[in-house]
Amino acid sequence: MGRGDRIASYSNLLLSISIGSWFLSVVSSQIPLGSKLTVEENNYWFSTSRDYAIGFLNFSDQYSFGVRFNAIYIPSSEQTAIWTAGWNVKVSSKAYFELSPTGEMILFDPAKGKTVWQSKTGNASVESAVLLDDGNFVLLNRNKSAVWQSFESPSDTMLSGQILSIGQSLRASSRDSLTSYYSLHMNVSGEMQLRWETSVIYWSVGGPHSAKQAILGSDGILRLLDQRSQAVWSVYGEDHNDSDVKFRFLRLDFDGNLRIYSWENNATSWRTVWQAITNQCDVFATCANNGICIFNASDSYFCQCPFRSTIDSKSECLIPYKPSCESGSSMNRYDHVYLYGIYPPNKTVVQTSLHQCRSLCQKDPSCHAASFVNNGTAQCHIMNSQYVGGQSDPSLGSVTFVKTCSDPIAVLPAPVSALRKVSQKICVACLLEVAAASIVVFLMLQFGIGVYLFRRRKHMMQKSASPHIVPNATGCIMFSYSEIKDLTDNFKKQIGQNVFKGVLPGNRLVAVKDLNASIEERRFRTAVLKIGSIYHKNLLRLDGYCCESGRRLLVYELAKYGSVDKCLEEPRMCKRLTWRKRIDICLSVARAVSYLHTGCREFVSHGNLKCENVVLDDELEAKVSEFGLRTIKAEASSSGGLAEADVRDFGKMMVVLITGWRNADEACYWAYEKWVKAEKEMAMDQRIVGGVDLQELERALRIAFWCLQGDERMRPSIGEVVKVLEGNLTVDPPPPPFAHNQQRSP
């Protein structure tokens, strides 16, 4: 039997075992609608084997709702949580969880006076729930089919047999009340990646375009499987194939490392049998703002701040320099130390020598520290922030220079009597000549230094700013308004509403968006840093910004073919927008919005999704622009209602692409009328070349009309839209999308 056959047999065996345990559990331990659990009663629901329990979990007098181990031979202190509702939602001792009569799971906290988490399954015909013997909590319909399951909404843990598919992720729990920055992703390129925030990838396996899912086998082997269920990558736990092991799980821990744990017979604690990153100091921002990471001989680490003043009692370890320091600055050298920026996680990279690296940082007022590395190419990594992380190790060949404000020196003036007497005979003409020559020399030196610094700054800004390990991620460049005028040739070529074409040094084209709004400077800079840290192949990259004298402008990469609405109007481009290309555009946009909603550290609403804000690059790949501007133009809002509004706008955009109409509202009414009359072929754009897949057209119209439902509670999530467009989820005929609005109209 070949390796591929063994993997296929292994997958089939897992499936058979899972199906068998499914029916056994469903028959014996169904949870009816209306059932409730409370913190005060400390009651639980159990799997048939009683190896797993679901209920409230105590975390230092705060509670989460989730699934935990419950096996009798695992001590209560080791009965680890494996899934929690809402990831990291904490509730009070008065909270309760209910499987409502409508089939929706509701977690309500009276102390907060609101529902803190819900499953949004009220319209899914749920009839019961069950906790299976594999630890999966499932909602069932009348046919005993799963309509929701915890395995498809993981938190920080995967159990044996659980699958992590493309687009899904694990998110580490927090060590305090703050949100965790660490996550594990299966991306569209078939790579499993550990990330800090969204732009920093510090560990990656698989790819390109090979793996479709990850699975932890009961044999203790973590595998990446392709679409034929054959392993394209695997790693073995230390105790793989050990029959004494009763349980295994994979968890993304709060320290950003990925580990496999196992429980053996007669054990007293969980055993770590594999971890992704051996040296914890290689995990990005391990010490956060508490210093640099030092890995010791006992395979542990500690954080140390080498540049903190001994009289500084602050816990944060920050670069002791401010551009405004009046006493000048000095450069301290640290051998075998490498630093990187954390807030923001970027740096400017310049190819230069060790001596020039030190000199560049010392002469640049915005530079706080510089690390020189030479791994075949001599590079100077310049950081313009005092928030840095890094590591120190004798094996590192890097040298770091840290800038500090020079301490002021108190100089006592000499007494008058001690001053040396000089001759009263002064040559006035000589004095004037010396003074004039000194002034000329001084002015020439100032001019020369100014030219040098300007050219050096311009050269450094042209270099790509890449965060730790990720060579293709960029930091935002801060432009002055005069620089914006230069690169746009004084706003000569307008390519959209308040959007102008520009050219950066190196002939790289950009689009400059003038927000034309009064926005408080601090809020603008905070929002720009947030938007600039978001990276996805279908999101338009933010390259820079201008925040000067009340002017607020954003600098984006320029997409060759411009916005989709203009491509629909231009006959030559419209012919290139075949049916397949239009569906691809819809899918790309849906994936981008899904990433904004669920893939970022914080929920990001687009707020103005339409064809005008979707652009096409030189390969006709769609990129969503102007995302996150709501956080700039208005105060931050919660995700409630904003996600549904983005879904509605996506539905309108989709109908415009299908019909070719310019007016989205009119197109939606007209297309629905044609669809109801079974004339869907009439609803499509008659300019489409090459024909249309009618089954795909039906599916596309159905999901678009679901997105347009007047009752936002009936709209799908954007993640569900992605699955429908990928063909991985069926979609029922929708009710009239405008009925809810009509009922509410006077």
pTM for the full model?
Answer: 0.55
Q: pLDDT averaged over the chain?
A: 83
What's residue 443's pLDDT? 67
Mean pLDDT throughout 527-556? Answer: 86
Q: Which letter does DSSP use for residue 601 in this model?
A: S
Residues comprising the chain, all counted: 746
User: Per the domain annotation, does 518 fall within a domain?
Assistant: yes
In a domain, 196, yes or no: yes
Query: Do 106 and 198 reside in the same domain of the chain?
Result: yes
Owning domain of residue 549: 473-558
Say if 192 falls within a structural domain.
Answer: yes
Relative to beta strand 221-225, strand 213-216 is: antiparallel
Select from 384, 405, 426 the last residue of a domain: 405
Q: Is 706 exposed, middle or buried (0-12, 13-18, 19+ CB in 10 A)?
A: buried
Are 546 and 667 members of one domain?
Answer: no
Amino acid letter at 394? P
Residue 425: the pLDDT is 41
The strand ranges marked E within 241-377 are 245-252, 258-264, 271-275, 292-295, 301-304, 329-335, 337-341, 348-350, 369-374
Name residue, tokens 């339409």.
610
Q: Which 3 state secondary structure label does DSSP give 276?
A: coil
Instruction: Write down which residue in 359, 390, 405 finishes a domain.
Output: 405
Q: 585 and 480 in one domain? A: no
CA distance 292 to 312: 17
Is the preceding omega at residue 208 within 30 degrees of 0, hence cis? yes
Distance in angstroms (rounded) separating the CA atoms of residues 577 and 569: 11
* Domain-located, residue 744: no
Residues 54 and 160 in one domain: yes
What is residue 538's predicted lDDT score, i.e. its pLDDT? 92
- pLDDT of 670 over the 80 cut: yes
Q: Which CATH number is 657's domain given?
A: 1.10.510.10
One domain for residues 255 and 273: yes
Q: Do 151 and 168 have their domain in common? A: yes
Strand partners, 137: 131
220 backbone dihedrals φ, ψ, rounded to 5°: 85, 20
Q: How many domains does the chain have?
A: 4
Would you state the pLDDT for residue 699?
93
Give residue 451's pLDDT band: very low, low, confident or very high (50, 70, 90): low
The encoded tokens of residue 743 equal 């009922």
* 586 in the same domain as 550: no
**Looking at the predicted structure, is the pLDDT value of residue 745 above 60?**
no
Coil, strand or helix: which one is 636?
coil
Q: Are residues 653 and 515 in the same domain?
A: no
| Residues in CB range of 322: below 8 A, 6 or more apart | 386, 405
Task: Name the residue type at position 280.
Answer: Q
- Cis preceding linkage at 344, omega within 30: yes
Between 273 and 421, the higher pLDDT residue:
273
Q: pLDDT tens-digit profile of 151-170?
A: 999 999 999 999 999 889 99
The string of pLDDT tens digits covering residues 201-249 is 999 998 776 789 999 999 999 999 988 888 888 899 998 889 899 999 9
What mean pLDDT is predicted for residues 693-698? 90
Instruction: Tell me which of 634 and 75 has the higher pLDDT.
Output: 75
Confidence check: pLDDT of 410 > 50: no
126 and 75 in a common domain: yes
Q: Which residues of 305-342 are buried (b: 16+ CB within 10 A; e: fewer)?
A: bebbeeeeeeeebbbbbeeeeeeebebeebeebbbbbb
Look at residue 131 and tell me if it is in a domain.
Answer: yes
Rounded mean pLDDT, 270-278: 94
**Token pair for residue 289?**
């703002």
DSSP sequence for 645-682: HHHHHHHHHHHHHHH--S-HHHHHHHHHHHHHTT-HHH
Q: Cα 232 from chain centroid? A: 26
Q: Which residues contact 348 (CB under 8 A, 6 or more apart)?
A: 381, 382, 384, 460, 461, 463, 465, 475
Q: What is the CATH number of the domain that holds 494?
A: 3.30.200.20
Least confident of 321-330, 355-364, 568-577, 721-730: 321-330
Could you tell me the CATH number of the domain that includes residue 65? 2.90.10.10
Q: For residue 314, is pLDDT > 50? A: yes
User: Any idea which of 170-174, 269-273, 372-376, 473-477 has the lowest mean pLDDT?
Assistant: 473-477
Task: For residues 237 and 183, state if they share a domain.
Answer: yes
Cα 291 from chain centre: 24
DSSP class of residue 282 equals: G
Q: Can you give the pLDDT at residue 217?
A: 94
Q: Identify any residues that bridge with 670 across adjacent strands, giving them in sequence order.
A: none
193, 153: one domain: yes
**Cα–Cα distance between 290 and 525 in angstroms, integer?**
24
Residue 461's pLDDT is 43
Question: Is the domain of 553 the same as that of 584?
Answer: no
User: Looking at the predicted structure, is the pLDDT value of residue 23 above 80?
Assistant: no
Amino acid at site 710: G
Nearest residue to 690 via CA among 565, 583, 576, 572: 576
pLDDT tens digits, one per residue of 545-593: 898 878 899 999 899 899 999 999 999 999 999 999 999 999 999 999 9
Q: Do strands 388-392 and 292-295 pair parallel, antiparallel, or not at all (unpaired)?
A: parallel
Residue that is last in its domain, among 247, 277, 307? 277
CB-count burial class (<10 Å; 0-12, 13-18, 19+) for 149: middle
Higher pLDDT: 538 or 445? It is: 538
CA distance 546 to 533: 17
| pLDDT of 227 | 87
Read off the pLDDT of each residue in 3-30 and give the average, rounded to a whole number.
46
In a domain, 416, yes or no: no
Percent of the chain with pLDDT over 90: 51
Lowest mean pLDDT among 302-306, 469-473, 639-643, 715-719: 469-473
Tell me the longest C-alpha to C-alpha distance in the chain.
115
DSSP E strands in 119-257: the ranges are 126-131, 137-141, 146-149, 157-159, 163-165, 169-171, 182-186, 191-196, 200-206, 213-216, 221-225, 231-236, 245-252
Strands (E), 22-145: 31-32, 36-38, 45-46, 52-59, 62-69, 81-84, 96-99, 105-109, 114-118, 126-131, 137-141
Question: Is 177 domain-assigned?
Answer: yes
- Ordered alpha helix ranges (H), 338-405: 354-363
Q: Is pLDDT of 15 > 60?
A: no
pLDDT at 593: 94
| pLDDT over threshold 80, residue 302 | yes
Q: For residue 605, is it within any domain?
A: yes
